[in-house]
Amino acid sequence: MTRPGTSASSTSPGRPEAIDDSRVHDVVVVGGGPSGAACAYWLADAGWDVVVVEKKHFPRVKTCGDGLTPRAVRQLNDLGLSGALAGAHRYDGLRACAYGMSLEMPWPDHPSFPSVGYVITRHDLDQIVAERAAKAGAIVWEGAEAIGPILDRATAGHVGGAGTSAEVLPSCAGANVLDRDAGRHHEVRARYTVVADGANSRFGRALGTSRDRDYPLGMALRGYFRSPRHDEPFIESHLDIRDASGTVVPGYGWVFPLGDGRVNAGVGLLSIEGRWKGANTTQLMDAFIDWAPASWGLSKTSLCGPPTGGKLPMGLSVRPRIGPNVLAIGDAAGSINPFNGEGIAYGYETGRLAAACVGRALSGEGVHALVDYESQLQDAYGLYYRMAREFVRLISRPELMKVCVSTGMHSRSIMEWLLRIMANLVRPEEIGPAEAAYRALCTIGRLTPG
Ligand SMILES: Cc1cc2nc3c(=O)[nH]c(=O)nc-3n(C[C@H](O)[C@H](O)[C@H](O)COP(=O)(O)OP(=O)(O)OC[C@H]3O[C@@H](n4cnc5c(N)ncnc54)[C@H](O)[C@@H]3O)c2cc1C
């Protein structure tokens, strides 16, 4: 096992001293967002020599709703960051609003997850996690853009058990990196490469990943607004957002209080089978801002800067996710939860799973451990995401969406089950109504081909 010799432990701008072009690191992680930083932390914590190349400098803005659910909080606690969240806005649950009704639902209890969430800007959060990885011994190289993989035909290997060769990535010996501060190119070589470069994933695409267009895709737009209700103990979701013609669309509008005088408000829309693909999220956002309860104070004058948006690849829609010495995680693997558009927790979780598998591979198990990463993804999310995709298919029909939402909003217990299922907080050992409903759906899912 190669121990980190001269780890830089630095998140300050520039090129860390420990970057040495002749050195072959254990792992290079491309991207220092939630998935890359978490993966780097777990690898460094286990003693591996890991370098993260991140094209921006922290703190940096990242377009997001900034909402952390109990799943994300659990991962941050495990990273040793519970104290670092003390300054963030803590909230207790979700207020669901639709068709003139509203329901406040505290986070459900779960033996493995806390019953709290936080809202914290990605500007602040991602720096905290990248610093944690650096403190554990990872080299975090900021201002370093991976411009392409170093393809390694010499060590190209077979990935047994992972399907046909079209379903695996090629062997990769690291990344060609542009030092954006110095304007110079470098080769960062490593025995294993982890692709964590987010939803656009140009590095992943260059290796051969692509998104399955039969899967749903989220599109979302958000802005920051000054608001008198900035420190509310509930985040709010509006389940009946409408397009310009007044048709209810599949998605939701949100208002997430940040506790610092501002709220993060935005709209997310789901597109599947080509439906809603052409919908204009800017118009949806304008309509939502006009229509959200006036007490939030959302308007063009309280807006703190132009809204920005992005895509949400979901349901494990991006493949292949493994190669003989390469793995994809987070948005680069399409790991967002289609039920609710949550991706931060799944970035942390897939980063952690990948770190464990790469660690085993480095310890001598080789490619089998990487194949196991794919199996573990399927065990953790396969059936759940399949249910979620069917749910999205259902609600992408306006008439069904309306029936589902308005029926649900008349029953607190149905909405509480739904919250438990959609936030992926179903208890494995207990049979409450949500668990019973979910298990019944899973049984149908298992019996249904495709
Ligand atoms: C509008 C919007 C709202 C959202 N709201 C929420 C929410 O409230 N809660 C939630 O859980 N999720 C939310 N999501 C999803 C969430 O933002 C993503 O799932 C999450 O950021 C994925 O983390 P990641 O590490 O995989 O990718 P990213 O966060 O995108 O990180 C990728 C990193 O890689 C770097 N990078 C990219 N290319 C390169 C390269 N070539 N070389 C070096 N570095 C590179 C980038 O600079 C970036 O730092 C939202 C998404 C959008 C678009």
The best mutation among 30, 344, 349 to test binding of ligand 1, ranked by most ligand atoms within 8 Å of the C-beta, falls on: 344
Rg (CA), the chain: 22
Residue nearest to atom 2 of ligand 1 (CA): 64
Q: How large is the average pLDDT for residues 61-79? A: 98
Is residue 429 over pLDDT 80?
Answer: no
Q: Is 142 in the pocket of ligand 1 (CB under 6 A)?
A: no
Is residue 4 over pLDDT 60?
Answer: no
Work out the widest C-alpha separation in the chain, in whole angstroms.
65
Percent pLDDT > 70 in the chain is 92
pTM reported for the whole predicted model: 0.94
Domain with CATH 3.50.50.60 in the chain: 24-61+124-213+314-384
Q: What is the pLDDT of residues 346-405, one digit of tens each?
A: 999 999 999 999 999 999 999 999 999 999 999 999 999 999 998 888 888 878 888 888
Is residue 167 over pLDDT 50?
Answer: yes
Place of tokens 């970057």: 19
41-50, 247-256, 430-439: which has the highest mean pLDDT? 41-50
Asked if residues 340 and 216 have their Cβ atoms less than 8 Å apart, the reply is no
Q: Which of the pair, 449 or 7, is modelled with greater confidence? A: 449
Asked if residues 151 and 172 have their Cβ atoms less than 8 Å apart, the reply is yes
Q: Is 251 in the pocket of ligand 1 (CB under 6 A)?
A: no
What fold characterizes domain 90-120+215-312? D-Amino Acid Oxidase; Chain A, domain 2 (3.30.9)
Q: Is 56 in the pocket of ligand 1 (CB under 6 A)?
A: yes
Q: How large is the average pLDDT for residues 237-250? A: 88
Is residue 308 over pLDDT 60?
Answer: yes
**Per the structure block, which two tokens stand in for 437?**
């409903």
pLDDT band at 166 (very low <50, low <70, confident <90, very high): low
Q: 96 C-alpha to center of ligand 1: Å?
A: 25
Q: Is 337 in the pocket of ligand 1 (CB under 6 A)?
A: no
Q: 358 C-alpha to center of ligand 1: Å?
A: 22
From residue 138, alpha-carbon distances to 43, 95, 196 in Å are 8, 39, 15
Is residue 112 over pLDDT 70?
Answer: yes
Q: How far apart are CA 392 and CA 397, in angstroms?
A: 9
Determine the pLDDT at residue 17.
Answer: 75
Question: Mean of the per-residue pLDDT values for the chain?
Answer: 91
Q: Poorest-confidence range of 13-17, 149-153, 157-161, 358-362?
A: 157-161
In terms of phi and psi (left: phi > 0; alpha: psi -120 to 50; beta: otherwise), the region of 422 is alpha
Residue nearest to atom 16 of ligand 1 (CA): 343
What fold characterizes domain 24-61+124-213+314-384? FAD/NAD(P)-binding domain (3.50.50)
The torsion angle over the Cα atoms of residues 432, 82, 253 and 408, rounded to 10 degrees, is 10
Q: 44 C-alpha to center of ligand 1: Å?
A: 22
Q: Is 232 in the pocket of ligand 1 (CB under 6 A)?
A: no
Domain with CATH 3.30.9.90 in the chain: 90-120+215-312
Q: 33 C-alpha to center of ligand 1: Å?
A: 6
Q: 62 C-alpha to center of ligand 1: Å?
A: 7
Q: 121 C-alpha to center of ligand 1: Å?
A: 12
Q: How large is the average pLDDT for residues 124-137? A: 98
The best mutation among 179, 284, 312, 352 to test binding of ligand 1, ranked by most ligand atoms within 8 Å of the C-beta, falls on: 312
Asked if residues 250 and 213 have their Cβ atoms less than 8 Å apart, the reply is no
Q: 260 C-alpha to center of ligand 1: Å?
A: 23
Is residue 103 over pLDDT 90?
Answer: yes
